[in-house]
Structure 1
């Protein structure tokens, strides 16, 4: 058995490695976008090696920070939105309909299937399904922008899916996960209203009436949100450390398959309905990337953060890695295709 001193030294080296790697990534434009995710790895490593530091301080249970942090993050999301985000319902009705149908069918049922295929423990399995039943978040908008996809459609889909979440998420959880853990439909609905809808509405109102007056908030909110996400993931990892060490590799594989299948079916499902490539890429991001923070909050409200909260904690960092990689690949692929078209046009003109 390893001595406590050796474990502490190993933990410190692992945390230092990821922190240094994240700092190094800041010096390279192509890798800079991954630095936050690498910092998350450092935080997760710290919580795995030193869980006692992230569960309680004095008599204060750090899990009590999760809901307030989520509310702040969702308020920040609201300040980045406007009523114009809903214009796509009128301008792009087919894209919105296809995207929402994909959002609330593909990920919930794929998650349901994966939990049985890998025979996950009931509460951990319920967490995987919960991620699938959650709406998308701002991360999908960022990836749509990077990839050159249909950003207007992305913003509309995120807004509509978020507003539908108080009904759709509890309904789908009741349908797919009630046999795993008891699902209180109305309790979950109220939790989503408290954690997501009301803070976003407050952010929208703030953006509408105070836009430009408090520029420091516009600059600070992304950083505050990133710090909040890191803290939440660290607390959840520490709380569920024992379960994560037991099924960690299996859960990571399930999360990767869940996320990747969401991208694949979101894209090709959209193409089969006749959407153009840019819109299909948008739907792929909206389907494959979920609001893991909301899922974490619901897991906490249900009193199961150490088990149901594990899948959201793993899904969040992974989707940022996969989403950034896919967005960059699509962007570069589009640029190459455009260069080829320009080259062909120049050749035909010279002839």
Structure 2
């Protein structure tokens, strides 16, 4: 039951933010959205500090599995998101947000769920690491291709945004862990809690900022995000099974595909100046994937794998 406290707490606070948005947008003229990028940079620095030489060696040892996971990650979710925008006919900026969350890489939450699901944790970590490092090129490219007709996508600007949000903090985290291991060992004990609070903070800001848009498309957007999330699990899992992968590997890929880095998508929407519209899908996706991922991981965790 404890694993559900966080997502349900976020949902409760999101409901409050939706009903009283003015309290979560700014205070004394200081907009809370200004803190989104720094918060995410600290979270990505924390991710970088967990990357080890063993992780890269695991990638070298299992390149086929990692490649399958990456192809699934950057094909299934972007195309599924694009298809959903055609099905639901959202306003352009709302639709762009659905595509954006689909074009984003997986996040650390998928690694936690992989462990609980008795999936191949090493594979999950490898895919998350590589997806994160490739995202500064692939996410803008996919957004330009699939979302360019919805909103203006400045490719080079988005590449730079992702570089400063993702690559620089991750590299700094890797270097800090290499040269200051004792200090980072202490900091790493705090970072998971900071990440949880930080992501929650971002989701609340986006909800409050986009309250008026949610009044118009909230129900349909909730349904679209649900289909996107669960569809990612299903397509990721059965794609892996069609390729004759082991059960543990299929579970890892399913979780990597279905769970996205909502915080990163929100940060990119904020950099576009469209947090209240483009950022909405990612704000809904975050809590939803934590709940669905926890349920799926619990179900799989109670089932024996055949391999």
| Structure 1 residue aligned with 2:106 | 136
User: Aligned residue for 1:309?
Assistant: 279
Give unpaired runs (5+ residues) of structure 1.
1-30, 339-351
CA contact 1:67–1:297 (8 Å) conserved in 2: yes
Distance in 2 between residues matched to 1:43 and 1:191, nearest whole Å: 29
1:156 Cα deviation from its structure 2 partner: 0.6
Secondary structure in structure 1 of the residue aligned to 2:302: helix
Residue from 192, 206, 210 that aligns with 1:236: 206
1:204 maps to 174
- Give the deviation of 1:117 after TM superposition: 0.3
Asked whether the 8 Å contact 1:86–1:160 carries over to 2, the reply is no
- What is the distance in 1 between the residues matched to 2:86 and 2:252? 29
Give aligned pairs, total.
307
Q: 1:247 aligns with which of 217, 238, 241?
A: 217
Provide TM-score, normalisation by structure 1: 0.85
CA contact (8 A) 1:143 1:323 kept: yes
Q: Report the structure number with the largest CA radius of gyration.
A: 1
Counting only pairs closer than 5 Å after superposition, residues 236-275 of structure 1 correspond to structure 2 as: 236-275=206-245
CA distance in 2 between partners of 1:61 and 1:279 (Å): 43
Structure 2 residue runs of 5 or longer lacking an equivalent are none
Which stretches of structure 1, 4 residues or longer, exceed 4 Å deviation after superposition? none
Cα distance in structure 2, aligned partners of 1:85 and 1:269 = 24
Shift of 1:89: 2.3
Structure-2 residue corresponding to 1:22: none
Shift of 1:232: 0.7
Question: Paired residue for 1:81?
Answer: 51
After superposition, where does 1:152-163 map in structure 2 within 5 Å? 152-163=122-133
1:58 aligns with 2:28: yes
Tell which has more relative contact order, 1 or 2 (C-alpha 8 A, sep 6+). 2
- Distance (Å, rounded) in 2 between the aligned partners of 1:124 and 1:185: 19
CA distance in 1, matches of 2:185, 2:76: 39
Q: Compared with structure 1, are the counterparts of its residues 272 and 237 closer, same or farther at alpha carbon in structure 2 (3 Å cutoff)?
A: same
Structure 1 stretch displaced more, 150-159 or 78-87: 78-87
1:92 aligns with 2:74: no
- What is the Cα deviation at residue 214 of structure 1? 4.7
Verify the 8 A CA contact 2:137 2:159 in the aligned structure 1: yes
SS in 1 for 2:106: coil
Q: Counterpart of 1:223?
A: 193
Q: Residues 1-351 of structure 1: matches in 2 within 5 Å?
A: 31-334=1-304
Alpha-carbon offset, residue 91 of structure 1:
1.0
TM-score relative to the length of structure 2: 0.97
Between the aligned partners of 1:113 and 1:283, the Cα distance in structure 2 is 21
Measured on the aligned residues, the alpha-carbon RMSD in Å equals 1.3
C-alpha contact 2:49 2:184 (8 A) present in aligned 1: no
- Mapped to 2, the partners of 1:196 and 1:214 lie a distance apart of 19
